[in-house]
Amino acid sequence: MDVVLDGDVAELFASGKKKLKPVIFSHGLVCMGVSYSGILKDLASHGYIVFALNHQDGSGLYTEKRDGTPVVWTR
């Protein structure tokens, strides 16, 4: 599969020439989605729309609630 630049990708999908393929990414224990940003950006460059979740159940290294309260791994 050819790698294309961000602007080219947006044009392909906006025109309907290509369909977005969703990927739901769930990080491992004591980590967070941003730790995998290089891999996730690479997936996006190949036409995937990537949803990277940060868990708020205490299993992630760090995230924030909607009000900004930090949720930090404590186990």
pLDDT digits (tens, 9 = 90+) for 47-72: 788 888 776 666 667 778 889 888 77
CB-based contact 20:49 (threshold 8 Å): yes
CA–CA distance, 67 with 75 (Å, rounded to integer): 23
Position with higher pLDDT, 73 vs 7? 73
What is the C-alpha to C-alpha distance for residues 29 and 18, in angstroms, rounded to an integer?
Answer: 34
Percentage with pLDDT > 70 across the chain? 67
- pLDDT score at 2: 54
